[in-house]
Structure 1
Amino acid sequence: MNFDFSEDQKFLANEARKFLESQCGMGEVRAVLNDDSKAYNEGVWKKVVEMGWLGTSIPEEHGGLGLGMLEMCVLAEEMGRVLAPVPWASTAYFFTEALKLAGSEAQQAEIFPKIVSGDVIGCYAASEGPGNPDAASLKTTFDGKTISGVKVPVTDGDVATHAVVLAKDGKGASLVLVDLSGKGVSKKVLSTLDPTRSHAELTFDKAPATLLGKSGDGAVLNDELLNRVAVLIAFEQLGGASRCLEMAKDYAMERYAFGRPIGGNQAIKHKLAEMYVKNEVARSNCFYGAWALSTDAAELPEAAAAARVAASEAFWFASKENIQTHGGMGFTWEVDCHLFYRRAKLLAVQAGSPKVWKEKLVRAIETKNAA
């Protein structure tokens, strides 16, 4: 079984890397970090839209590129390398995949072309604070036509035009589509460790909402969506971890102390070697997840959890050791190391913390072994 990308997919990765390195450098990331009035980099977002990447997995009949999830994984890794300060994951992962899973033909025909054109920025609102949202704990309610409640935190909720919301529906839960520019919706911007990815508190007060999928299927759809999104986020984390290793290695080769590069010191070699090992473990698990995602394999819950756990560990470790390798200047504002550390900590809790995914991995393995 071959888990590697095809030549076409590797070509896409190479072209995406060249584009992003030229159009989305650390200067573009810091432009958002240093300006409280900016929730994301609109210039970079416009260029991503023009490249057509938002339509990567959207069918051609809806204006998309009609490619697959492997191509999405390729782009996710490249976006992770540059810490793209745009609502890419919220729109291309969460929102688009939710519509693909639960949207009707009419809903997809209406929304998908607007995603491709950049007229719609999406987000996914499930969390209502600490803990995993489920039908028993949800306080946001759907009465068939409107929703009421509070969702927090919602990634890119302050800039999104539309949201897919997990809400209590009778005794179960459902996914609903909400136009955030409509009545009954208010937004409150939240401060997080990584200001380059904005978050908000969304309050709904009898806001008009449309059901996605069947009533009561929300919990099942939420699990399916998170499994799909987990693989894509893992590739973003892998991209960030790979870049951290490159930064640490490059600095270790050019920084001289006592007449020799610090990379020649055994302690630094051990740091770089351990970063490399964790990154390769994460890459193997990410490839497994990509295979399961692209083939709709029964192993997806297990593969997604394994990819998420390994990638979260790799990115956090690589970002931390990158700071350490840079020594006394590694933690300073002027050096870019802290930008990767911020993003590593943020991505680790998106779509569920490592603890949640470790529990999912154990359950998936137990279910497989019991079969």
Structure 2
Amino acid sequence: MAISYAYIEWDRPDREYLPARETAVNFDFSEDQDMLRNEARKFLEGRCPIDKPRAVMDDAKRGYDAGLWQELVEQGWTALTIPEEHGGLGMTRTDLCVLAEELGRVLAPVPFASTIYLLAEALMIAGNDAQMAKLAAIATGECIGCLAVWEGPGEPAFDQVETQVSAGLLSGTKQPVVDGIAATDALVWAKDESGTARLFLVPLDHQSITRESVETLDSSREAAIITFNGTPAEPIGEPDLLERLLDGAAVLLAFEQVGGADRALEQALDFAKERHAFGRAIGSYQAIKHKLADAYVNNQIARSNAYYGIWALDADSTELPQAAAAARVGACAAFWYAAKESIQTHGGIGFTWEADQHLFYRRALFLDMAIGSPRLWRDRLFRSVELHSAEAG
């Protein structure tokens, strides 16, 4: 399957448009990956009905579904991309994106993204021998990760961080930290003794650490305030590791968002076919079918950008920053719109607590902010496009 992407580029400050640059990417899932998708969907439909995230949401103390997490471990999902020498299956990130999409469809209340897309990726990309030993614990589900970058409301200024490491000890506060209560290990963005911001690997079982739950819109995915007061911390990778991790997470989260968007649209479409008003199915009215058509188009655009992103990620392409930002922006917009219109299509029923539609809307907004808002990623996309324009002369 050949997918073509056309980018319109411009130069500032006059904003003159340059000719569109078109990139052809050959991408298709293999038979094995299609089989993996089918088996994953059957498994999750049986093991993670919609009452799973609802139950976690109703019980603020749970944070995540530990039973479902253990079942994913037993299925080998946490070991999928981990190298065989560290107890994993050694499969590709493209294989992982298949699972990500299915997890997104069922709103799985598990710390999969924080652990696999971020912590495991950081260890595989930049970990030393001692740090990579944690990969075996990730594969068996004993190690759960989180990324601690933000230090309060608003977009992060990555070069203006207050958290510091001195003599190997970390001090400062991070909030909100997604999956920060469940996590056993954290990747913490902090300044070293030279004043350079970089990532540190921090075990979270030290007595100097305090953790407090933070209420989020989607409480089926918990978050925390984590305070470090002289906590042992070990640097991991170079200062640019965070950018690479965010790009990879953006691509894989895009597949989760596309999965959620597709399921929200399916719910709206099914209801529009069944619900009758004035003697006709409501889906026959333009006010409904045009909105659902718009949601379908958004979802397909988001999926195409996600395909481009996973190609760039698996190929280790220099186009990854631009592809990741495009995937992130498109997926955020698609999931939000599909979830919103699913509520609207269901009418008064859709606004009730008992209906499932608000669960998708909550997850859409939660994932919007999980690794930085769509505005932050639009800015990253614009900068990447401008950089390509400059390089093209």
Which TM-score bucket, shorter chain as reference?
A: over 0.9
1:123-162 CA distances to partner (integer Å, 9 max, x unpaired)? 1111112222423x11111124210000100001011111
Give the alignment partner of residue 182 of structure 1, picking from 203, 206, 214.
206
Query: What CA deviation, in whole Å up to 9, does each residue of 1:279-333 have, x standing for no partner?
Result: 0010110000010011000100000000000000000000000000001111101
How far did residue 49 of structure 1 move?
Answer: 1.0
> 2:165 aligns to what?
142
SS in 2 for 1:326: helix
Q: 1:60 to 1:145 in 2, by over 3 A?
A: same
1: distance between equivalents of 2:129 and 2:275?
58
Specify the code of the residue in structure 1 equivalent to 2:184.
Answer: T
Equivalent pairs, count = 365
Aligned to 1:272: 292
Name the residue aligned to 2:225: 201
Q: Pick from 171, 196, 202: which aligns with 2:195? A: 171
The one-letter code matched in structure 2 to 1:24 is C
TM-score, scaled to structure 2: 0.91
**How far apart are the structure 2 equivalents of 1:300 and 1:132?**
21
Matched, 1:336 2:356: yes
Structure 2 partner of 1:345: 365
Please, what TM-score do these two structures have when normalized by structure 1?
0.97
| Amino acid aligned to 2:137 | K
Name 2:181's counterpart in structure 1. Answer: 158
1:125 to 148, 167, 176: 148
- 1-side partners of 2:221 and 2:214: how far apart? 11
Q: CA deviation at 1:268?
A: 1.1
In the aligned structure 1, how far is the partner of 2:131 from the partner of 2:62? 31
What amino acid does structure 2 have at the position aligned with 1:50?
Answer: E
Query: Which aligned pairs between 1:6-21 and structure 2 lie closer than 5 A?
Result: 6-21=30-45
Partners of 2:56 and 2:219 within 8 A in 1: yes
Does the 8 Å CA contact 1:144/1:211 hold for their aligned counterparts?
no
Give, in whole Å, the separation in 2 of the partners of 1:174 and 1:318.
37
Alignment of 1:195-234 (within 5 A): 195-213=219-237, 217-218=238-239, 220-234=240-254
Residue 45 (structure 1) aligned with residue 65 (structure 2) = no
Deviation at 1:352, TM superposition (A): 1.1
Q: Does 1:102 align with 2:126?
A: yes
User: Could you list the per-position Cα deviations for residues 322-353 of structure 1 after superposition, in whole angstroms to 9, with x for gaps in the alignment?
Assistant: 00000111110111000000000010111111
Q: Deviations over 1:49-74 (max 9, x none)?
A: 11111111110110111001101111
What fraction of aligned residue pairs are identical, expressed as a percent? 53
- Aligned counterpart, 1:306: 326
| Bigger mean CA deviation after superposition, 152-161 or 260-269 | 260-269
Preserved CA contact (<8 Å) 2:174 2:227: yes
Distance in structure 2 (CA, Å) of the matches to 1:165 and 1:322:
37
Name the residue aligned to 1:291. Answer: 311
Q: Which residue of 90, 98, 118 corresponds with 1:66? A: 90
SS at match of 2:26: coil
Q: Which residue of 1 aligns with 2:6?
A: none
Q: 1:126, 1:133 within 8 Å by CA — same for their partners in 2?
A: no
2:103 to 79, 100, 109: 79
Deviates more, 1:26-35 or 1:97-106: 97-106
Quote the offset at 1:197 in angstroms.
Answer: 0.3
Letter of the 1:179 counterpart: P
Kept in 1, the 8 Å contact 2:81–2:90? The answer is yes
Q: How far 1:260 sits from its partner (Å)?
A: 2.1
Partner Cα separation in structure 2 for residue 350 and residue 200 of structure 1: 13
For 1:4 and 1:260, the matched residues in 2 are separated by: 40
1:245-260 to 2 correspondences below 5 Å:
245-260=265-280
Partner Cα distance (1:266, 1:92) in 2 = 43
Give the conservation status (yes or no) of the 8 Å contact 2:155–2:373. Answer: no
Correspondence for 1:362: 382
How many angstroms does 1:191 deviate by? 0.2
User: Shift in Å at residue 99 of structure 1?
Assistant: 1.3
Task: Provide the residue aligned with 2:136 in structure 1.
Answer: 113
RMSD: 1.0
Instruction: Report the Cα offset of residue 258 of structure 1.
Output: 2.1
Uncovered stretches (5+) of structure 1, i.e. residues with no partner: none
Moved more, 117-126 or 1-10: 1-10
Give the drift of 1:6: 1.3
Given that residues 152 and 202 in structure 1 are in contact (C-alpha distance below 8 angstroms), is that contact kept between their aligned partners in structure 2?
yes
What SS class does the counterpart of residue 54 from structure 1 fall into?
A: coil
